[in-house]
């Protein structure tokens, strides 16, 4: 790969009109993970190409911009490329770009075009099914996932189909899943998680548990271990950088121009803690718009920190960014979310659970921001994470010791943030479900919003939901998930013991 990059670069120096050289250099740099170089080279190739023949460069450049966290540019790049593309793979790539940019309405026709051009593209059918699922078109999603599976044994599509709804003794895919080929360790993990889901649905809890345990075991090896020590160092760095309330202040007033941008509302917590439900409750309000699960704030922090470490967040990044001008974070964040704003709503929601890491910086970058922390009973929250395959997103979720350690880090950090920033709004998922009207009225009041009855029925006014909870939150507020861990109390006993030792739950009676 390095040789190809060097050779192509040399050719551009002696024959800059050779577009093939720019293409090889740019795509090779992208494949090698040299993203900034790839973006610049592909951009130069596009500029040197005839206006009506730039898609060859724009498609890989859109992927590169997405990987760099420059979503607004990726969207503009994609919109310029779409009229010129004719290949199914390009439609599928650009659909993924628009989906990651949270523009699902624009992603959908691109995905539909991809499967129309190549009905044998299993991955494209899987991507189309995911879009249908996020948009609440569950029957269409099931059809697309089945098409993906019919083309080849697509383990990701098997898992997506299993998650789509609750299956029954007479309507399930358990035997098909058991006989599906294991192409890779990650596929083995996916199939075991799918089997857990459907076996759990039909009440075969002992067999379900063994499948879940095996899936998590395989996933941890396939995906790679979690670094608890690094997270502990990051936790210590946050507490050092933000020791008290005074450390949150930036001293220059609001970060938004009054009347020009909406007020930012960040929803944080653990994954599977109820953050999506709280987002939908708030998004049902006429003055509020949900922007989706955005990686934008963390990417802005990394960019401003100028840290060269390979991690999005670590102690070095914290130390560096805590010394930077917080207005630079806002300046990076705002353009990457402005394209999503409807121009009307006075409040926009950025719901990414692990933004709980950044509460201090959020307050410093956006002094008027609303921060809503959603908490859930520990074993329900952690079992909710353990039972889902998050791939690389939450490497701590495949092992009991890692689950307990991460939970301890999370609780200690949130206790610190709430001590230095009492304005953080705390919401109990169990309290919200038990007393929805009183809790929703309190939440809206804390957010400075008048009560609206629509917030009591968020399932009736929802748009697209691109999260692991996309099917559950289309139901009325309910207690279905409360106490779900108890079905597997025996298997979860080691986790229960660790949380007890840490002081977060009481010993078993």
Residue 262 pLDDT more than 90? Answer: yes
19 domain residue, yes or no: no
90 domain residue, yes or no: no
203 domain residue, yes or no: no
Other residues' Cβ atoms within 10 Å of the Cβ of residue 86: 9
477 domain residue, yes or no: yes
Residue 392 pLDDT more than 90? Answer: no
The CA radius of gyration of the chain, in Å to the nearest whole number, is 23
pLDDT of residue 468: 52
Residue 275 pLDDT more than 90? Answer: yes
Q: Edge-to-edge, what's the strand order for the sheet holding 425-428? A: 288-290, 347-351, 263-269, 370-375, 425-428
Average pLDDT, the chain: 93
State pLDDT tens for residues 107-133: 999 999 999 999 999 999 999 999 999
314 domain residue, yes or no: yes
228 domain residue, yes or no: no
- List the CATH number of the domain containing 478: 3.40.50.300
pLDDT of residue 260: 79
350 domain residue, yes or no: yes
pLDDT band, residue 465 (cuts 50/70/90): low
**425-428 and 370-375 as β-strands: parallel, antiparallel, unpaired?**
parallel
CB contact at 8 A, 191 and 182: yes
pLDDT of residue 153: 85
pLDDT of residue 471: 59
pTM: 0.92
pLDDT band, residue 1 (cuts 50/70/90): low
486 domain residue, yes or no: yes
More confident residue, 343 or 467: 343
pLDDT of residue 254: 47
Give the least confident one: 199-208, 385-394, 447-456. 385-394
pLDDT of residue 368: 96
Number of domains in the chain: 1
Write the burial class of residue 424 (CB in 10 Å: 0-12 exposed, 13-18 middle, 19+ buried).
buried
Q: Which of 347, 381, 378 is nearest to 496 (CA)?
A: 378
Residue 248 pLDDT more than 50? Answer: yes
Q: At what angle do helices 2-14 and 19-31 cross, to 10 degrees?
A: 150
* Cβ partners under 8 Å of residue 367, min gap 6: 249, 250, 253, 254, 255
State pLDDT tens for residues 473-484: 567 788 888 999
* Integer angstrom CA distances of residue 469 from 164, 245, 395, 475: 10, 34, 19, 11
Residue 164 pLDDT more than 70? Answer: yes
How far, rounded to the nearest angstrom, does the alpha carbon of residue 291 sit from its chain's CA centroid?
Answer: 12
Q: Mean of the pLDDT values across residues 406-427? A: 98
Q: Mean of the pLDDT values across residues 332-359? A: 96
Residue 381 lies in domain: 263-502
Residue that is written with structure tokens 């999370």 in the block: 410
Q: Mean of the pLDDT values across residues 229-233? A: 98
Residue 509 pLDDT more than 50? Answer: no
Q: Mean of the pLDDT values across residues 273-293? A: 95
């Amino acid at each position: 790969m390095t040789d190809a990059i060097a050779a192509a670069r040399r050719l551009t120096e002696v024959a800059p009109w050779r577009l093939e050289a720019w293409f090889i250099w740019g795509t090779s740099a992208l494949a090698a993970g040299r993203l900034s170089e790839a973006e610049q080279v592909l951009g130069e190739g596009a500029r040197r190409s005839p206006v009506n023949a730039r898609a060859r460069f724009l498609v890989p450049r859109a992927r590169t911009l997405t990987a760099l966290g420059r979503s607004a540019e990726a969207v503009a790049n994609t919109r310029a490329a779409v009229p010129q593309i004719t290949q199914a793979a390009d439609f599928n790539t650009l659909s993924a770009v628009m989906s990651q940019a949270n523009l699902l309405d624009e992603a959908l026709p691109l995905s539909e075009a991809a499967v129309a051009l190549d009905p044998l593209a299993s991955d494209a059918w899987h991507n189309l099914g995911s879009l249908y699922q996020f948009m609440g078109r569950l029957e269409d999603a099931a059809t697309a996932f089945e098409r993906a599976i019919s083309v080849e044994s697509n383990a990701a599509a098997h898992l997506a189909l299993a998650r789509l709804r609750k299956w029954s003794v007479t309507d399930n895919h358990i035997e098909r899943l058991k006989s599906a080929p294991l192409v890779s360790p990650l596929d083995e993990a996916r199939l075991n998680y799918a089997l857990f889901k459907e076996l759990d649905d039909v009440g075969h809890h002992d067999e379900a548990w063994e499948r879940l345990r095996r899936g998590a075991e395989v996933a941890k090896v396939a995906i790679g271990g979690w670094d608890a020590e690094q997270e502990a160092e990051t936790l210590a760095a946050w507490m050092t950088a933000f020791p008290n309330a005074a450390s949150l202040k930036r001293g220059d007033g609001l970060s938004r121009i009054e009347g020009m941008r909406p007020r930012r509302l960040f929803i944080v917590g653990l994954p599977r803690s109820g953050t999506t439900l709280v987002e939908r409750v708030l998004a049902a309000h006429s003055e509020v718009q949900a922007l989706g699960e955005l990686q934008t704030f963390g990417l802005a922090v990394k960019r401003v920190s100028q840290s060269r470490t390979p991690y999005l967040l670590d102690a070095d990044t914290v130390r560096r960014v805590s010394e930077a001008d917080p207005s630079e974070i806002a300046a990076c964040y705002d353009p990457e979310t402005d394209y999503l704003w409807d121009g009307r709503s006075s409040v926009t929601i950025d719901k990414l659970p692990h933004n709980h890491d950044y509460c201090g910086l959020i307050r410093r970058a956006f002094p008027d921001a609303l921060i809503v922390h959603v908490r859930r009973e520990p074993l329900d929250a952690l079992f909710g994470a353990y039972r889902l395959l998050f791939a690389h997103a939450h490497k701590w979720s495949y092992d009991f010791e890692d689950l307990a350690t991460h939970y301890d880090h999370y609780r200690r950090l949130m206790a610190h943030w709430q001590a230095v920033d009492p304005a953080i709004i705390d919401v109990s998922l169990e309290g919200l479900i038990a007393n929805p009207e009183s809790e929703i009225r309190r939440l809206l009041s804390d957010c400075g919003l008048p009560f609206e009855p629509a917030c009591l029925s968020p399932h009736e006014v929802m748009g697209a939901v691109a999260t692991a909870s996309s099917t559950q939150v289309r139901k009325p507020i309910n207690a279905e998930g409360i106490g779900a861990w108890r079905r597997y109390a025996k298997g979860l006993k080691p986790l229960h013991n660790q949380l007890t030792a840490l002081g977060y739950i009481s010993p078993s009676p």
